[in-house]
Amino acid sequence: MTDKLIIFDTTLRDGEQSPGASMTREEKLRIARQLERLKVDVIEAGFAASSNGDFEAVKAIADTIKDSTICSLARANDRDIGRAAEALKGANAWRIHTFIATSALHMEKKLRMTPEQVLEQAKQSVRFARNLTSDVEFSPEDGYRSDVDYLCRVLEAVIAEGATTINVPDTVGYAIPELYGNFIRTLRERIPNSDKAVWSVHCHNDLGMAVANSLAGVKIGGARQVECTINGLGERAGNTSLEEVVMAVRTRRDHFNLETRIDASQIVPASRLVSQTTGFVVQPNKAVVGANAFAHASGIHQDGVLKARDTYEIMRAEDVGWAANKIVLGKLSGRNAFKQRLQELGIDLDSEAIVNTAFARFKELADRKSEIFDEDIIALVGDESVTP
Ligand code: KIV
Ligand code: ZN
């Protein structure tokens, strides 16, 4: 049987924590509409208690979006949780996501609290949130660097208080896939009431492994929710990238045997919108949404793709919202790709000899110019010197 994988998008909360990525209420609402079209299950719309602006943004999203659960982050205290509920209450479905740090380092140096105090505060805040909504997520911040015995105590206690989702953050991107996967599995195996909650992964990308860690948390650990952002936007090196997780699970369904609700054709529009709104340019070689993700420049690859696309493509550009794949003409291109482009441009050269001459001129030009555009080809074949 195929299990469902819940996609929890935090572009508007953790993504916005990226320096320089802050968004206005209207910008957030526009992105939330696109996330709804993308069919994400949960939209973390912001951190309602953090500012009046964020409260208003969470409220506007909660009042507008109908087809996704809307969530607000809240520290583990009554004021934050109350503010989150106040902002969210107009939504069709809403969730409070409360958190407190559980690593020795964070408890001692940042919170200046003892482990017993943190445990009590975690329990009390989940209890308080559960009086306001039946959908409560709890995150032990810096969970991956926490002592596993202590973490088991905290998580067992918050599940007993009614937390319905347990999210295990790798807050500083310190995890390694196999270790993170085993960590989630250990927690689920050791906590007696673990099956009362959905397990969730939340990974940061400091070592470039956020997607791999999340997928290990799913495959090895049995997590059934992934927290992620469009384009991997997020603090420092970012968060797990939504498009990579979704397409990995879809393309390697043979391995994961999981399904998401995501409408993949909305991925590229979502990526463009987030990039334009935040001003964060997507690197050209970024998986799935980079400008070169479906572009072929080498002659051998172009020839292969023109004969059968799956020779060098494991996904279809059109399936994720690109108009088409791209054959980029340049010095590495072969005669086949050149001829194909002539055909697409409606240029019918009289004989193979003329094609050969035009191709030789194309190669000369390509040595001087890194990419040959359609206009270059039209100019090149329009020149009478092509004729032998
Ligand atoms: O990275 C993190 O620990 C977080 C939590 C607040 C969930 O974003
Ligand atoms: Zn985070």
Which residues does a 6 A CB cutoff place in the pocket of ligand 1?
14, 99, 139, 141, 169, 171, 202, 204
Nearest CA to ligand 1 atom 8: 14
Q: What does the angle CA 267 – CA 269 – CA 270 come to, to the nearest 5 degrees? A: 65
Ligand 2 centre distance from Cα of residue 10 (Å) = 9
- Residue 388, pLDDT score: 47
- Residue 385, pLDDT score: 47
- Residue 194, pLDDT score: 98
Residue 239 among known ligand-binding residues? yes
Residue 97 among known ligand-binding residues? no
Strand residue runs (E) in 76-229: 94-101, 136-141, 165-170, 198-203, 225-228
Which residue from 14, 137, 199, 229 has its CB within 8 A of the most atoms of ligand 1, so it is best to mutate? 14
135-180 residue pLDDT tens: 999 999 999 999 999 999 999 999 999 999 999 999 999 999 999 9
186-203 residue pLDDT tens: 999 999 999 999 999 999
Q: What is the ipTM of this complex?
A: 0.99
Ligand 2 centre distance from Cα of residue 356 (Å) = 57
Ligand 1 centre distance from Cα of residue 61 (Å) = 21
Q: Quick one: which atom of ligand 1 is closest to the CA of 13?
A: 8
Q: Quick one: which atom of ligand 1 is closest to the CA of 97?
A: 7
Residue ranges in the chain modelled with pLDDT below 50: 384-385, 387-388
- Residue 386, pLDDT score: 53
Output the pTM of the full model: 0.96
Which residue from 10, 13, 73, 95 has its CB within 8 A of the most atoms of ligand 1, so it is best to mutate? 73
Nearest CA to ligand 1 atom 2: 171
In 3D space, the residue among 169, 244, 164 whose CA is nearest the CA of residue 204 turns out to be 169
Classify each residue of 3-20 as buried b or exposed e, where b means 16 or more C-beta atoms within 10 Å of its C-beta.
eebbbbbbbbbbbbbbee
- Residue 16, pLDDT score: 96
Q: Quick one: which atom of ligand 1 is closest to the CA of 235?
A: 1
Q: What does the angle CA 324 – CA 325 – CA 329 come to, to the nearest 5 degrees? A: 120
Q: Quick one: which atom of ligand 1 is closest to the CA of 10?
A: 8
Cβ atoms < 10 Å from Cβ of 229: 28
